[in-house]
Structure 1
Amino acid sequence: MDKWQGMGVVTGGAAAALAGLLFVAVTLRIDVIAAARDLRSPAAQTLALFVTSLVVAIVLVIPDQTERTAGIELFVVALASAAALLVLNRGAKQVTAPSALGSLLEAVSPTAVSVVLIGVGGVLAAVGWDPGLYFLVPGIVAALVGGVVNAWLFLLKIPATPAN
């Protein structure tokens, strides 16, 4: 697992920074976001993507652990993330029709892609197939890029503050 330490450090730093920026962005307009379900659900989904990436990074940097153990942990992370994202997605489905980019993202959901790839990587590592962890790379990239795009889309929906 030592060869995955660098990936864990980079992923953890990126995910933590993006989660922090999301908190800042949401906090600036918390009154509007808290009152609108069509803003709350995507914000929560975005946070879940960043937290999933962060937890994967933590698993990758745990010292002296076998790939089998890491694989089991990654599979559990993928299951927990999938469950959380399914619950959050139910709330997001009850909102108005998305933009063209939003429709494309629903069809090629980076959320689903990331969770499936992380889960597959975990299962393959758990059964002893060494290259299995390489499925994490596109899974993490999909989670981080998907989270940034989600954040951009929901932040664009926030109405402008009237000038005083």
Structure 2
Amino acid sequence: MGEWNDFYLAVASASAALTGLIFVGVSINLTKILSIRGLVDRALLSIVLLLTVLVLSILFLVPRQTVETEGFIILVGGTVSWLGIFRLDLNTIKNKEQPHLRQYFFNMLIDQLATIGFILAGIAMVANWPMSPYWIVPAIIVSIVKAVFDGWALLVEINR
């Protein structure tokens, strides 16, 4: 898996920087975020997505791991992330007002695609399916894109 080192190094760096930006966005707009129901969970959700990408990328940089070992790591990390995000999504849906519910179901779908993507990649890697290391790439991309859109909402859209 040594040929993946540069990829995971870039992903770890990008997700660490984006996590920092989410923290800055939350701190700048903290009063407003705390006053709007559901935004704290949305901020936490984006941080969990980015931290999942960051932690998994760092763990994949550990030398001399087999594909199966990395698969187990991503399976456990993806499952923990999925459970946390699913709980946050359910909590947010419970507290959402009717006009915004449809939009949040779309957000929830994207969250689930990202985290279930990690679980599927882990299963593929543990089972040593062909091309299994590539299965993590869509989960990483969806997680980063979703977190960036959530970060945009917390930084810019909140002030409209």
After TM superposition, give the deviation of residue 36 of structure 1 in Å. 3.1
Residues 1:95 and 2:88 are matched in the alignment: no
Residues 1:105 and 2:97 are matched in the alignment: no
Between the aligned partners of 2:100 and 2:29, the Cα distance in structure 1 is 21
After TM superposition, give the deviation of residue 57 of structure 1 in Å. 0.7
Aligned to 2:42: 42
State the number of aligned residues: 158
- The TM-score, its normalising length taken from structure 2, stands at 0.88
- CA, structure 1 residues 134+124, in 2 after alignment: closer, same or farther (shift >3 Å)? same
What are structure 2's unaligned runs of at least 5 residues?
A: none
Aligned to 2:20: 20
User: Considering only aligned residues, what root-mean-square deviation do their CA atoms show, in Å?
Assistant: 2.1
Alignment of 1:1-164 (within 5 A): 1-93=1-93, 94-96=95-97, 97-98=99-100, 102=103, 105-106=106-107, 109-159=109-159
Work out whether residues 120 and 132 of structure 1, in 8 Å CA contact, stay in contact via their aligned partners in 2: no
**What's the CA shift string for 1:70-105, capped at 9, x where partnerless?**
1001000110000110111122211233398x3573
SS at the partner of 1:37? coil
> What is the one-letter code of the residue matched to 1:98?
H
Between the aligned partners of 1:13 and 1:130, the Cα distance in structure 2 is 28
Between the aligned partners of 2:58 and 2:152, the Cα distance in structure 1 is 26
- The TM-score, its normalising length taken from structure 1, stands at 0.86
> What is the one-letter code of the residue matched to 2:141?
V
After TM superposition, give the deviation of residue 138 of structure 1 in Å. 0.8
Between the aligned partners of 2:152 and 2:14, the Cα distance in structure 1 is 17
**What's the CA shift string for 1:16-61, capped at 9, x where partnerless?**
0000000001101212223433211111111111111112211221
Work out whether residues 86 and 112 of structure 2, in 8 Å CA contact, stay in contact via their aligned partners in 1: no
> What is the one-letter code of the residue matched to 1:19?
T
> What is the one-letter code of the residue matched to 1:150?
D
SS at the partner of 1:158? helix
Q: Which 4+ runs in 1 deviate beyond 4 A?
A: none
